[in-house]
Amino acid sequence: MTERPLKVVVGSHNPVKVGAVRNALEPLFPGIEVTFEGMHAPSGVAEQPMTVAETREGALNRMNYCRQHGGEADFYVALESGVDVTEDGPGNFGYVAIAHADMVSVGCTAWLPLPPVVYEALLDGEELGHVMDRLFDTVNIKQQGGAIGLLTSGHATREAAYTQAMVLAMAPFLHADLYGAE
């Protein structure tokens, strides 16, 4: 990476997602000016992805849209929240997809167990943010602390979860030689 300013295109205008990208990338490039530009990027999947595969696909679709329509940038980033069920029950998580030059890295947040009443509403076609707003009497929680903030009583946030996933997904860019990219 060079000392010139870096431009990052984020496939969302959601302040939580743009903030997570900023929180992750600025410390990784100390002394370098980094600018962040949010843009609408369609996911190509359901408004509420209901599987790991669909969530990952949504993040990759958004990232690729940014690459195609976001102009010249150093990094193209997209984040997608989803739900799935494992042997431990339903849960919420997010995927991040990052592109730099010809290299792509994908990462995932931690798993947040979901209450059965929330999962049932999702199966009925509701979106997670709307379900949480209804249950907790909040407004637009997905652009704030998210379901994770509500269900952990504020001890974790959506932005923090995405920030950690972003930092981890940056490893191949920070050490490209070890990942066979140089």
Q: Give the Cα separation of 63 and 172 in Å (integer).
A: 17
87 is in an annotated binding site: no
**Binding site annotation covers 73?**
yes
The Cα–Cα gap between 179 and 137 comes to 46
In contact, 129 and 142? CB cutoff 8 Å: yes
Give the integer Cα–Cα distance in Å for 157 and 144. 8
Pairing of strands 34-38, 6-10: parallel
What residue numbers does the annotated binding site cover? 72-73
What residue numbers does the annotated binding site for substrate cover? 72-73
What residue numbers does the annotated binding site for Mg(2+) cover? 72
